[in-house]
Amino acid sequence: MNSLRCLSRLACAALFAIFCASLPAAAEDINEVFKKVNEYVQQKNYPKAMEELQWAQKELEKLNQQRLSELLPKTIEGFVGEETEVQSAMGFTSIERQYNKGDQGIHLSIAGAGSAGGGLAGLAKMGMMMEGSQSGKDQFRVDGRTASLETSGAPELTVFLESGSMLQLRSSDESVDSATLKKFAQGLKIGELDDYLKGSKG
């Protein structure tokens, strides 16, 4: 009987530990991590300091993804967004989100976010300007940012952000026309998103 009680207590303790581990990290945990980093640096224990910094980076990536999800509207022109996906590697960040309305779908992606990809949009924009006006392409501005809309074939809209990133919209199943993509782009908080990506606003 005592053995059963002990097993029951151990099971409860294990479930509680799993539950705690599954809880989302609070923002103030970041401060605790950096506090540990400083303590290890003072002790000249640099391997442990670098280990803590890696944990801090993971937590910051979670907060960054949460903020980006807030800046990308949940609903635009009747299209409802799925979970935002953010991937970072070597200072280069890519952001993707799928929006659906019935049988229609729009795929949003942002490439070149981060210091490593900062010049991507500038180079692409320069190439677009050198090409000039072409049949099947429409150039305009969205929230003060230069945009290019590919109207021949499957429509694809690209916005060149001041942060150095490129925001692209395309029909995920070729069921969305050019006019819908353009209205969708105008419904995005592009200026606010761009300011966040270049670090000028939180």
Sequence ranges of the domains in the chain = 26-71, 76-197
Q: CA torsion 58→61→67→70, rounded to 10°?
A: -100
Q: Mind listing the pLDDT tens digit of every residue in the chain (202 residues)?
A: 444 334 334 333 343 333 333 334 444 488 888 999 999 999 999 999 999 999 888 888 888 878 888 899 999 999 999 998 887 776 677 889 999 999 999 999 998 765 444 455 444 455 455 455 555 688 899 999 999 998 877 889 999 998 888 999 999 777 899 999 999 999 998 999 999 988 887 6
- Tell me the C-alpha to C-alpha distance, in Å, between residue 147 and each of 5, 11, 90, 151, 166: 67, 58, 27, 13, 10
Q: How many CA atoms lie within 13 A of 65 on its CB side?
A: 16
| Burial (0-12, 13-18, 19+ Cβ within 10 Å), 116 | middle
Query: Which residues, other chains included, contact 146 with Cβ-Cβ below 8 Å and sequence gap of 6+?
Result: 125, 128, 139, 159, 160
Q: Cβ–Cβ contacts within 10 Å for residue 197, how many?
A: 24
Query: What pLDDT does residue 187 have?
Result: 93
Residue-level pLDDT at 114: 53
Looking at domain 76-197, its CATH class is alpha beta
Cα(200)–Cα(202) distance, integer angstroms: 7
Contact status, residue 160 vs residue 124, Cβ threshold 8 Å: yes
**pLDDT at res. 117:** 43
The pLDDT, as a whole number, for residue 8 is 38
Confidence (pTM): 0.69
**In the prediction, which pLDDT does 14 show?**
40
